[in-house]
Structure 1
Amino acid sequence: MAGPTYATPTGDQAAWRDASPKPGCLPIDLVAFVQGGVAPILGVRTPDGRPLVGSAVACRVREMRVLRVFVERRRHEALLGAVAAGSAIAATFSRARDHRSIQVKAPAAQLGDPSPDDLPEIARQCGLLLDELLELGYTRPQAIAYTAFDPDGLAVVEFIPERAFTQTPGPGAGAELRR
């Protein structure tokens, strides 16, 4: 009987190196990962250079290259203000079951509103994360609180990643992913 498999920075490097997306497109593995019920976190800087971090709700990929990350407006007014002011952005996506984490960076992002067809996909992704948290031993109230969101209070942070890094714990964490 095979034991559990764990994510590693080496595995992230191999998956990225072996990917062969069309020019200007993200690897399919990354697209599936960021839309697969992971926990997204955004990092930006205020105009005076102060770092801001905020948890996001979900992510959708448009045209295999544009990340659309959904955040709650009320909780993240300062973060959204920094995006509007032109901050560079880093988004880290982490999977609960094995801590596989990928970070992407862009020099700037745009703000927008979710479209009606975004809400079922956001709910699907939150449902996947909720199920995973329950499997890991979170209580139902904890998992529900972690994945809850106000569908009427979401904003979209949209950007095209220019660089990607493995943030999965282990030797090689922090290395840039390159083809």
Structure 2
Amino acid sequence: MTAAAVTLPADFLAMMDRGVSVIVSSAGLDLRPSVMRAVGSRIEAGGGQITVYVSRQQSGQLLQDIASTGRIAVVFCEPSTHRTVQVKARQAQIRCAEPSDEPALARYLESMIHEISLVGHSSRFTRAMLNQQLDDVVAISFVPADAFDQTPGPQAGARLHHSAGANP
């Protein structure tokens, strides 16, 4: 994969890397949207590579849409504040999750147990929502091509800055 087309601000990267609510979406060739909650995420290379994890069993249409178009949009949201960033890509790659992904999935689950507890839900609730068997998990990796501040308020929808030479 190539270098990131966007440079994500450090405060958003820190939030994303910590492990917050992640919603993954795409659309088919007919532009009909597909959406699914991620069960994990991993931020690498200072945001230059992002991997999100979804349940294969629950994400059939989403995975089909990404496979046919390569397009993905992912929202990272801090539940207690609604602070949100959306990243998009045009060349997402899908693979089966591997044992080497287990630490990222475990770290994400523990972070989300904390995040969801801040809005009043138990660890039991969060585990039921996010805990998956590794053989059902699919990893979707991409280089962000575009990013937007989606935090409710006056900056909602503002495009985040692109790196030099990048094409939005």
TM-score, normalization by structure 1: 0.79
Query: Structure 1 pair 23/91, CA: closer, same or farther in 2 (3 Å)?
Result: closer
Comparing 99-108 and 32-41, the one that deviates more:
32-41
2:92, 2:17 → 1: CA distance?
19
Question: SS of the counterpart of 2:69?
Answer: coil
Contact 1:45 1:87 in 2 (8 A): no
Question: SS of the counterpart of 2:99?
Answer: coil
Gaps of 5+ in 1: 1-21
Show the 5 A alignment for 1:97-136: 97-136=80-119
Q: Residue 115 of structure 1: CA displacement? A: 3.0
Q: Residue 59 of structure 1: CA displacement? A: 1.3
TM-score, normalization by structure 2: 0.83
User: How many residues align structurally?
Assistant: 158
Find the counterpart in structure 2 of residue 148 from structure 1.
131
Contact 2:88 2:146 in 1 (8 A): yes
Question: SS of the counterpart of 1:98?
Answer: coil
Find the counterpart in structure 1 of residue 165 from structure 2.
none
Query: Could you say which structure has the higher strand fraction?
Result: 2
Q: After superposition, what is the alpha-carbon deviation per residue over 1:87-135, rounded to whole angstroms, capped at 9, x for unaligned?
A: 4211100111211110001123111122322212211111111122123
Which of 1 and 2 has greater Rg? Answer: 1
Q: CA RMSD in A?
A: 2.1
Find the counterpart in structure 2 of residue 7 from structure 1.
none
Question: SS of the counterpart of 1:85?
Answer: helix
Q: Residue 45 of structure 1: CA displacement? A: 0.6
| Structure 2 residue corresponding to 1:77, chosen from 23, 40, 60 | 60
Q: Residue 145 of structure 1: CA displacement? A: 2.0
Percent of aligned positions with the same letter in both sequences?
34
2:24, 2:6 → 1: CA distance?
22
Question: SS of the counterpart of 2:158?
Answer: coil
Gaps of 5+ in 2: 163-168
| Structure 1 residue corresponding to 2:51, chosen from 49, 68, 74 | 68
Q: Residue 136 of structure 1: CA displacement? A: 2.3
2:132, 2:121 → 1: CA distance?
18
Find the counterpart in structure 2 of residue 36 from structure 1.
18
